[in-house]
Amino acid sequence: MAIRISFAHKPKRRLLRALLLLAFAIAACATASNGIAQETEITPTSSVVLASEVEWTHLNPTRGEASPQAATLWGDRAGTEATGFLVKFGDGFSSPPHIHNVTYRGVVIGGDVHNDNREAEPMWMPAGSFWTQPAGEPHIAAS
């Protein structure tokens, strides 16, 4: 047995239903227009930093001249926020075994880099290679 409900004979319910739908539509439009108004109030800006403007510093200042050079592109390397930076390893560089407190990802832009545990067979990654270094895992970096 099928039950069929019709609002045709109940004009007050039909009117109430139409008003609720209209109220919902108005609320949805108001919310959408608020979002549009907010978006237009925020002026997006682009930012360009030329290679000649990148500021290079010691990645590990306590190592002095033996330290690779690093350039922060965004964020704060010493902070807890997401950060992007470049690193220049000198020819023949090899770090002591160390760990990081966060997982990071590296992309080789130029030259060859080895990043693994101290006992690993050297696997030199050429430009375009990518690796992930898990937090707390001892490793070395070499070029």
Q: How many CB atoms lie within 10 A of CB 36?
A: 10
Considering only residues 119 and 41, tell me which one the structure prediction assigns the higher pLDDT: 119
Which residues of 1-139 form beta strands (DSSP E)? Answer: 57-58, 69-74, 84-88, 104-107, 114-116, 130-133
Percent of the chain with pLDDT strictly greater than 70: 72
Show the tokens assigned to 124: 């030199």
Task: Give the pLDDT confidence score for residue 21 in this predicted structure.
Answer: 41
Task: Give the pLDDT confidence score for residue 40 in this predicted structure.
Answer: 59
The overall pTM is greater than 0.75: no
The segment with the largest mean pLDDT, out of 1-10, 12-21, 114-123, is: 114-123
Domain coordinates of the chain in residue numbers?
A: 9-44, 51-142
Task: Give the pLDDT confidence score for residue 4 in this predicted structure.
Answer: 45
Tell me, which fold does domain 51-142 have in CATH?
Answer: Jelly Rolls (2.60.120)
Residue 122's pLDDT band (boundaries 50, 70, 90)? confident
